[in-house]
Amino acid sequence: MPINVRNSHEKINLEELLVQNLSLSPYSSINTGGKADLAAYPTDFEELRALLAYANSQGLPITVLGGMTNSLISDQGIEGLTILTTHLARRHVQGEMFCVRTGLSLDRTIDFALEAGLSGLELLGGIPGSVGGAIYGNAGANGMAIGDLLYYVDYMTFDGKLHRKQTHNDEFSYRCSPFTGLKDIIIYEAGFRLNPTLHTSEARKIKDEVKHKRKEKGYYENPSLGSIFANPPGNYAGKLLESCSLRGKSVGGAMVSNRHCNFIINSNGKATSHDVHALLSLMQKEVFQKTGVQLRPEIQLIGRW
């Protein structure tokens, strides 16, 4: 596809920013999926705006991805322009507010906040992926979720306009934020209201401990997307899957983890996204037939499904 660079997009050289046929599987945490027809890693507001203007002028659909730790990317790839946020990673402190661009990893955000003497996010230590992805799905662990400490979110609509949303706790629920399901915005920056802390050693200890527990539980041993299904009300997806004898079940290279029934792993490095999806459907069907519970996938299907 020829790249049509027009002078109207400020002084930004889109040809330098755009990559054609970028293979995404090395970047996805489960190492599956096809190519992005066109991809870009904007580093600032102006580049992001120029990319959106370019995609709009060409009639290209736009997809936004952060760390790709919760996204199952189709083997057939992603149509149009894929915006990868991981180079949008600046942060600054404003009083008790820690302000961070969307592409910074959540884990590093917690470290940077602690370095600035601000605590509160420690229990989320070790959750992979970006701040933007975490806000999109209200990522959580250990009894808290990212929405709990969020004060504002700046997001860009695909017409290039920036909006500020003051957030409220009651707009967030289990793995659900006001942005979940929206396909026409990019979360650009977030502000967290944190606790000024003179001695952050205790908070650091908590973060190290929760991260260490994740390691001990084998969360990072194999390529995966973390939990495949959300816990149904009053129950645990893992428990239900276990009770249906799904531990170790496989389709192609995709396998239900022996350590966590709610994780699908790329067991031999050769799984396809199709394998993962087929196994997910099988798990869902088995649980429904045996228990009557309809499990809801926690992961996002991205691209040409």
Ligand X SMILES: Cc1cc2nc3c(=O)[nH]c(=O)nc-3n(C[C@H](O)[C@H](O)[C@H](O)COP(=O)(O)OP(=O)(O)OC[C@H]3O[C@@H](n4cnc5c(N)ncnc54)[C@H](O)[C@@H]3O)c2cc1C
List the catalytic residues. 175, 227, 298
Residue nearest to ligand X (CB): 133
Binding footprint of ligand X on the chain (CB under 6 A): 29, 64-71, 85, 102, 127-130, 132-134, 136-137, 139-141, 185-187, 219-220, 224-226, 300
Query: Residue 116's CB: how many other CB atoms inside 10 A?
Result: 16
> Is 5 or 206 the residue whose CB approaches ligand X more closely?
206
- Closest approach of Cβ 244 to ligand X, in Å? 22
Residue 275's closest CA among 256, 252, 255, 294?
Answer: 252
**Token pair belonging to 206:** 């908590």
Query: Residue 15's CB: how many other CB atoms inside 10 A?
Result: 9
Residue 87's closest CA among 31, 127, 47, 57?
Answer: 47
- Closest approach of Cβ 185 to ligand X, in Å? 6
**Token pair belonging to 265:** 């792993």
What are the beta bridge partners of residue 91? 100
Collapsing DSSP to helix, strand or coil, 38 comes out as strand
> Is 67 or 77 the residue whose CB approaches ligand X more closely?
67
- Closest approach of Cβ 141 to ligand X, in Å? 4
> Is 9 or 147 the residue whose CB approaches ligand X more closely?
147
- Closest approach of Cβ 265 to ligand X, in Å? 10
**How many residues does the structure list for the chain?**
305
- 150: Cβ contacts below 8 Å, ≥ 6 apart: 135, 167, 172, 190, 191, 192, 193
> Is 52 or 134 the residue whose CB approaches ligand X more closely?
134
> Is 46 or 96 the residue whose CB approaches ligand X more closely?
46
- What's the rounded Cα separation, in Å, for the pair 147 and 165? 13
- Closest approach of Cβ 270 to ligand X, in Å? 18
**DSSP H helix total and E strand total for the chain:** 7, 19
Query: Residue 1's CB: how many other CB atoms inside 10 A?
Result: 10
